[in-house]
Amino acid sequence: MEKKRISLADLDLLKKSFKQSGLHTVCQAAKCPNIGECFKHKTATFMILGDICSRNCAFCATTHGKPLDIDKDEPLKLANTIRNLGLKYVVITSVTRDDLPDGGAEHFKNVVNVIRKEIRDIKIELLVPDFKGDTKSIDIVLSSKPDVFGHNVETVPSLYKFRKWADYNRSLDVLSYAKQKGFITKTGIMLGLGETEPQLLELFKDLKRIDCDILTIGQYLKPLKDNAEMVKEYTDEEFEYLKQKALEAGIKTCVSGKYVRSSYFAENTYQFLQNKN
């Protein structure tokens, strides 16, 4: 998958605009390999609730520690930035906030509601944490009626040692709960941490069982020296093979490739699913 380049000057301008607005993007915080391509098209996945995560997953580059207070002005700041960039489809995610009673659910709802109030005809995709499996928090988020509800299972059950304080079945339950409420659901996994093909095929079956609509499959790339080691680098042919296996398992839409991340070409995937239905 060829990476499109953006000039360093344009990239710096976009980064400065986010910094000046006090907003964070997962593109920068997680050191996403698609940052040049997406910024070139003036798209970004916005990260709310600060940039300090209460968890410490071994594969993630996001800063962990004691999170800061919620910025009550963040919803309007985000809406203004989205309007200025002329976006019609946005992905909004967050760090995990286990320090908050609702995990940040109310703030998610406020963000979506303000964006919809300020900008007409916008599509909003959410990529949320597991909220410790609390359905009351999930209901708060769903009350904002996102166009896509996303939560990443990240990897196969045997490798959840890399996801501190997370639980595979809990993540499936989060997705299943949203699906039962009538929402389009989406999840993502990364390859290269030591998973096997039989384990991946079982994961695909699990996602079909809960009727998950969209799956993204990407390569784990070690972001920092202290993160988990990459065990295997997959070929383009292997990514295509696994995509076909996911589709054969009954998952409606799958995007698979080395540089694919959960929000990669999110609008295109959403439109493809809408046309398919």
Q: Residue 102 has what pLDDT?
A: 96
Per-residue pLDDT band for 10 (boundaries 50, 70, 90) equals: very low
Q: How much is the average pLDDT of 129-147?
A: 97
Per-residue pLDDT band for 249 (boundaries 50, 70, 90) equals: very high
Distance from C-alpha of 121 to C-alpha of 116, rounded to nearest angstrom: 8
Per-residue pLDDT band for 129 (boundaries 50, 70, 90) equals: very high
Q: Residue 189 has what pLDDT?
A: 96
pLDDT digits (tens, 9 = 90+) for 27-64: 444 445 555 455 555 556 888 987 777 666 655 656 66
Pick from 118, 91, 130: nearest CA to 216: 91
Pick from 167, 160, 243, 238: nearest CA to 194: 160
Tell me: pLDDT of 227 over 80.
no
Q: Residue 91 has what pLDDT?
A: 92
Domain annotation for the chain: domains and CATH numbers: 8-276 (3.20.20.70)
More confident residue, 165 or 100: 100
pTM over 0.75: yes
The order of strands in the sheet holding 45-48 is: 24-25, 45-48, 89-94, 123-127, 148-150, 185-191, 214-219, 253-256
Q: How much is the average pLDDT of 91-101?
A: 89
Pick from 262, 256, 218, 219: nearest CA to 240: 256
Q: Which of 116-125, 202-211, 226-235 has the lowest mean pLDDT?
A: 226-235
Q: Residue 263 has what pLDDT?
A: 80
Q: Residue 165 has what pLDDT?
A: 82
Q: Residue 1 has what pLDDT?
A: 40
Distance from C-alpha of 156 to C-alpha of 267, rounded to nearest angstrom: 26
Per-residue pLDDT band for 3 (boundaries 50, 70, 90) equals: very low
Q: Residue 14 has what pLDDT?
A: 56
More confident residue, 97 or 150: 150
Q: Which of 6-10, 109-113, 178-182 has the lowest mean pLDDT?
A: 6-10
Q: Mean pLDDT in the chain?
A: 85
Distance from C-alpha of 73 to C-alpha of 70, rounded to nearest angstrom: 9
Rounded to a whole number of angstroms, the distance between the first and last alpha carbons of the chain is 27
Tell me: pLDDT of 67 over 60.
yes
Tell me: pLDDT of 144 over 90.
yes
Query: Tokens standing for 47?
Result: 């990260």
Q: What percent of the chain has pLDDT over 90?
A: 57
- The residue with tokens 């997962």 is 26
pLDDT digits (tens, 9 = 90+) for 151-208: 999 999 999 988 878 899 999 999 999 999 999 999 999 999 999 999 999 999 999 9
